[in-house]
């Protein structure tokens, strides 16, 4: 068992028994569940919309090289420097070079999971550069020294009382502020940072190939400020974020908003195609786009797993997953948690170290059911398990157990030999983790096979 696997089991065991944690998550997810059906009403044919989105992403990913080259050539014409980074180290070094050239001491950052993936904040801190998260949820998480808990709602596991207490501890505010008062405190603090920052860093919800643009969707205006206020804007995005045309946004923006937060559209939707041009008065002087691979081409090379690159990070599969709802986002110890995280992490990192995530699923299929772009998530989890076995990433004991199980399952006589007593003994002796929080399993005295025979005799 890998260290990550042991740690996952330990953390998820604690969280699964934490009723207060479950209460907060259920409360926040119930609010999400209440608004999503309202957002869905804007589609006359939702199934068709999801199918179309999947087809567009299929086209984008199947022609990824061409799409990215078209994007680069179009955006470079407006003065943007496009940087290709194969690894997190390459991306971090490029960012550091830009920071040094711009004599940067403060960065404002808008929420971006890719920057979490490359651990940008820690890297900048080590290099003496202050990096401030400007999305309210991310700001809360940064104040608390925690990673985001969810890909759309980073502080989903905190109640308003938790946030008030955190602000009181870290910022010295009264401990009983209301959510709107807390927002005003954050707003005031962040405004100062925008004034100081030399560089703004954002992610990209979509990379638009035909016009050479970046699409960003948000609710607080912080991404827009991060792009436009500082003199330099750096975008960092995974290469899979591409969509072929600007017109595709007519489908993807409402789809992402509906499945992400239940809105028809988020409050701010921006398309950025370059720095300030000669005839323009606002915007940054320089703009860079870093296109990050970091294992994505491994997924691209895998015909089955490739489908996971269609993900638009709406977070719906996390909200629907019974495992995520019980153990929460931090137990995964990955940037991307929940079903999509369990699918892609073993490919982005080491299969042997992260294969356990593919087993952290009841295979109920709820994730596939709710996915905005119809990714067959639960089947991809099964494919990951299969790949782990094929590549010999499973333990000898596990292989042996399955071998015996298969032999018995394929042989009626052997199966009939297993009486209720034997089954009880095997399960209650060897499946120790089951018993930690539950009573012993007790199989019925007669098997289905016996009962069926008896019934037919009668």
Which parts of this chain interact with ligand SF4 (CB under 6 A)? 259, 311-317, 340, 370-373, 375, 377
Q: What is the DSSP string of 140-203?
A: HHHHTT---SSSS-TTTT--HHHHHHHHHHHH---TT--HHHHHHHHHHHHHHHHHH-SEEEE-
- Shortest Cβ 316–ligand SF4 spacing (Å): 4
Residue whose entry in the numeric block shows the structure tokens 């629907």: 320
Question: 223 vs 312, which CB is nearer to ligand SF4?
Answer: 312
Placement of tokens 């940037």 in the chain: 335
Least Å distance between CB 165 and ligand SF4? 30
Least gap, CB of 106 to ligand SF4 (angstroms) = 32
| Residue with the two structure tokens 């991306």 | 91
Which residues lie below 8 Å from residue 315, measured CB to CB, with a gap of 6+?
150, 151, 152, 153, 259, 260, 338
What is the smallest separation between the CB atom of 93 and ligand SF4, expressed in angstroms? 29
Integer Cα distance of 435 and 35 in angstroms = 39
Angle in degrees, CA 261, 262, 266, rounded to 5: 65
Structure tokens at 420: 């209720």
Tell the smallest beta-carbon distance from residue 46 to ligand SF4 (Å): 14
Tokens of 402: 């399955």
- Closest approach of Cβ 33 to ligand SF4, in Å? 14
Of the candidates 198, 189, 111, 94, the one whose C-alpha atom is nearest the C-alpha of residue 149 is 111
Q: Minimal CA–CA distance to 241: which of 223, 215, 263? A: 215
Q: Find the shortest distance in angstroms from Cβ 230 to ligand SF4.
A: 30
Q: In the block, which residue shows the tokens 């996390």?
A: 318
- Nearer Cβ to ligand SF4 (215/373): 373
Distance CA 143, CA 166 (A): 8
Query: Is 106 or 308 the residue whose CB approaches ligand SF4 more closely?
Result: 308
Tell me how far, at minimum, the Cβ of 229 lies from ligand SF4, in Å.
Answer: 30
CB of 230 or CB of 346, closer to ligand SF4: 346
Radius of gyration of the chain from its Cα atoms, rounded to whole angstroms = 25
| Four-CA torsion 49, 53, 56, 60, nearest 10 degrees | 170
Minimum distance from CB of 57 to ligand SF4 (Å)? 9
| Residue with Cβ nearer ligand SF4 (233 or 306) | 306
Task: Identify which of residues 200 and 315 has a Cβ nearer to ligand SF4 in the complex.
Answer: 315
Beta strands in 267-370 (DSSP E): 268-272, 286-292
In the bound state with ligand SF4, the residue whose beta carbon lies nearer, of 82 and 151, is: 151
Question: In terms of CB distance, is 55 or 277 closer to ligand SF4?
Answer: 55
In the complex with ligand SF4, which residue's Cβ is closer, 190 or 316? Answer: 316
Distance of CA 124 to the CA centre of its chain: 23
Whole-number minimum distance, CB 340 to ligand SF4, in Å? Answer: 4
Residue 399 to residue 376: CA distance in whole angstroms: 26
Nearer to ligand SF4 by Cβ, of 124 and 373: the residue is: 373
């Amino acid at each position: 068992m890998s260290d990550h696997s042991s740690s996952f089991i330990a953390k998820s065991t604690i969280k699964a028994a934490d009723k207060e944690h479950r209460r907060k998550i259920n409360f926040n997810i119930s609010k999400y569940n209440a608004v999503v059906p309202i957002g869905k009403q804007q589609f006359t044919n939702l199934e068709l919309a999801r199918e179309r989105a999947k087809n567009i992403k299929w086209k984008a990913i199947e022609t990824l090289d061409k799409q990215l080259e078209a994007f680069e050539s179009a955006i470079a014409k407006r003065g943007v420097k496009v940087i290709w980074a194969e690894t997190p180290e390459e991306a971090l070094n490029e960012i550091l070079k830009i920071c040094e050239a711009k004599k940067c001491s403060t960065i404002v950052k808008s929420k971006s999971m890719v920057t979490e993936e490359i651990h940008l904040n820690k890297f900048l801190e080590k290099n003496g550069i202050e990096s401030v998260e400007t999305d309210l949820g991310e700001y809360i998480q940064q104040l608390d020294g925690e990673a985001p808990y969810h890909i759309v709602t980073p502080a989903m596991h905190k109640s308003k009382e938790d946030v008030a207490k955190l602000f009181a501890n870290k910022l010295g505010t009264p401990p009983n502020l209301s959510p709107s008062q807390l927002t005003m405190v954050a707003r005031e603090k962040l405004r100062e940072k925008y004034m100081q920052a030399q560089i703004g860093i954002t992610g990209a919800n979509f990379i638009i190939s035909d016009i050479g643009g970046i699409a960003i969707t948000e609710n607080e205006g912080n991404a827009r400020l991060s792009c436009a206020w500082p003199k330099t804007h750096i975008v960092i995005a995974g290469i899979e974020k591409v969509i072929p045309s600007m017109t595709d946004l007519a489908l993807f923006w409402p789809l992402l908003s509906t499945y992400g937060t239940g809105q028809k559209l988020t409050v701010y939707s921006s398309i950025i195609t370059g720095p300030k041009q000669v005839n323009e008065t606002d915007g940054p002087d320089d703009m860079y786009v870093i296109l990050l691979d970091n294992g994505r081409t491994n997924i691209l090379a895998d015909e089955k797993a490739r489908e996971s690159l269609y993900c638009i990070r709406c977070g719906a599969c996390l909200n629907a997953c019974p495992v995520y709802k019980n153990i929460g986002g931090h137990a995964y110890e990955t940037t991307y948690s929940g079903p999509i995280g369990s699918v892609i992490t073993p490919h982005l990192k080491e299969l042997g170290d992260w294969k356990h995530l593919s087993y952290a699923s009841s295979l109920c299929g709820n994730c596939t059911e709710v996915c905005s772009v119809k990714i067959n998530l639960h089947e991809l989890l099964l494919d990951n398990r299969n790949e782990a076995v094929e590549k010999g990433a499973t333990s000898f004991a596990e292989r042996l157990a399955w071998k015996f199980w298969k032999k018995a399952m394929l042989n009626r006589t052997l199966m009939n030999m297993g009486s209720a007593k034997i089954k009880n003994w095997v399960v209650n002796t060897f499946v120790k983790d089951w018993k930690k929080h539950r009573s012993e399993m007790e199989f019925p005295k007669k098997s289905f096979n016996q009962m069926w025979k008896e019934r037919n005799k009668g």
